[in-house]
Structure 1
């Protein structure tokens, strides 16, 4: 049986072009008995009844032969030991793996180089004597230097745990060797994760990675790979990279690919949102949307703002770096032209240019409207909600909502608090901040923007961010008439499929 097994292994090595000298032996009955007694296990739990040794030329070929054997015969989970990456204290080095052989029996393979075999069989001194007298190579010099340091540690460190920690630290390697399901060897940095491995194989596999199996068992994506691991990547066409992946990937390739995807996706979303915001602003000023987006005025403004293309200018609007009003104002403000006929009758109030500044007569104090007032930036109240005034030094009266987060601190000076009320004849808009939590789906942003527009409300600013749990947060600044108008907008947003919550916030 052993000879037939050796023959099969030899044929596999020849077919793969891997050099190797193979021999084998059955375990002696007395050795089996000793192992059963020493480990208190049954006969069925002895996995090395049959052992085959393969001696090859290089360390890389050791791992290549290991991958080849695992592709021919299934490995037994938990029965792999890498003594090459982490040698024993006596400098023993070898790869040990147990597979299910051709007749369903457990077979242990030991794979090593000729140098490792000489040290394992005859000891370090014999390996030294094997060299020509007086000609000790650099590797042998390092071995004996390590042995001298090993003896010093043993003398200096009385605590066995500290001694072992020192030994492990000295044996730490910069790379580990892992295998693909087909047995191909891959070299990756220590601390790398299945996600790093996926991006090392192909960018698309990394982008669509949803999980991984290590040696047949499911593991999280942040799992750190070890030498000898068999890595199988699980993918899904609907999966996309997440910003949270950057927190645990190790390789520069994986980080670069993830950042590139996020940048491209953010630009797409910014372009979509910027275009919708501009279209809404064009319609609000009675300007033809299609002609305005293709006009020379927009191209000239793009160059004036430092954008190479109109699309880049629109992205700036989507990112919130430019307001739609700034773009539209370029269409009816010019050194040689007056207002466009299409913009006649459109009024631009101080509040539209300076959010937070109250219209004249918006709030009444003691029955009068002729007091210098301004809305508080911390809570940004809107008509319809309870408010109170706070007298400030040099800035007149600041209007706060009753539930303002800073209101408790203001109550320490009761003399400055005054009763105020909204003017019942108020006609205008106020900016509020709305945060929407949604599933990260295609088209949700467009539907939310359309819902806000359907309620006759204008978006002046928007920010979009995605989370690792495949959810997205849409933050808007919206112009509303009053609390009833705001409530109508929130209800319209919540009707969109995929929306988890929509609420007003007091500052992002």
Structure 2
């Protein structure tokens, strides 16, 4: 167990001006508060918080964080109170201890409340100060180191699974790869003991068989670099058992088939040296194609920087090599914690150089400058943001008002494109539902789905809007061209003579259009009128008496085209399949479809009229009804039952009047076609509770 003077010596080694009295008081308070409590190992309980503090000294954290680590279990496991901690150690330490205590209480929940929900509350609870998170990760790491002392096998597995699913990925997210690797290794040993033992034994055999192979390869790399003037520290190791096991599972190979089980790290002086080193290594050993990654020019979101490559070494084996500077190495090992390390004089301004908090929550792009982010280490500064979670516990950061569709696109473009529904906190909710801070969201998908134009009415993220608009524009152009082609065929039928094969090419030249699609799009959007097309196809054909009379032309089918994309269904008359329809074609817009008896057609004097037909098996539409029903209990239930039995879906319901014995409603009703609507109206009129039922 780490002793009091040893802990102080560690802190003094990197922070000579640390408040030793604060740490001493915390040490004594913790020891007295925990008293005779014992851990599963049999050690005094207070040894645990002291060891947690020791882990944090390796990260060179400030005295308040060290004191928090020593005190982190006192409020939960002893009679100590938050008020007492604040009186003895100040408001900052009290706030940090309270934050860690809240996280521990969350851990005490039952099994079915864990997983993603635990992570959600975990991150929200630590939002008061990011150091709460660092203490909690160190706490979990020490608990994993002593996990084998717990007698209950099920409890060990639960803790290991939670570590693997939540804490190790969280450590990775903030760039603390050293913590992540050790947590994964310890959890893997508990969760897959046979696999762990098998891989460990094989690594041991490989190590014995190769003797000093790692040292020999490392010396060779260093000598090669020094010969070219590059001073480098070269470190080598075998990959961790969990990393090997995961690669075996991903690649479906045996241990013997896995060639890259050794990794080396070259730490050099400058960023320029990194690229020079890469060139020297690739010049000396053949590179493995597809295995090079440049995280210096494009760092990971958590700030990680390094060059990664794999080469075929002289020993006839693949080895992985990482190249980085000393500063990059510190960031890679300790991530976010590297920026909380003690600074000489505790100069707060020095800390503002590091946008580490943006790496944690991945919101730097939308939340102001790095200086502002560092100055305010609270979630309050992100009141215009929310945090939602995938079922696996991955944190997704979104603007306030974001919908499940925004969430889906934030996870992956393909997920957004295929979204058909969403479960929010386990309940199926409408896609336009605004998400709240901490919601768990599960996206329901179908490969047959594609982005819907109506989504643009409620999505708020730039990524979602851009992806939907891109699809809609592509679909709109595709269907506009298809509609234009139908209009073109109708125009051709009105020409006095058949066209030659070269006529279209000549027409494109005369109209200054580059291809057929551009011509069809221009026709559909009335950028050119019918007379211009005729003249371009057959000069002189649009003259008086030359054009065939239009009454013989067939109505153009809109089957297969998407309402709202290639054409719009007029809101004034709500045409549905079976209605006689006509289209109004105005310059620059899609065709507006009206029922033939619509009064608004009289306003279309500035538009071309296009004779349209629905085509077979059209997808249906929305009809509007006006229903007057008796003011009796259950009347509305009778109406909805009739509609349901006839397979009609209510999309809107408004009460327009309440007249003593009768109520008047208007309904928006999805129906297949006119006959379907007529059957529904007949059924409504036949029931006793309905006074009148008419289509609007």
Shared fold by TM > 0.5? no
Q: What's the TM-score once normalised by structure 1's chain length?
A: 0.42
Higher helix proportion (structure 1 or 2)? 2
**Under a length normalisation based on structure 2, what TM-score does the superposition of the two structures give?**
0.32
Structure in which a larger fraction of residues adopt strand? 1
Of the two structures, which has the highest relative contact order with CA contacts closer than 8 Å and spacing of 6 or more? 1
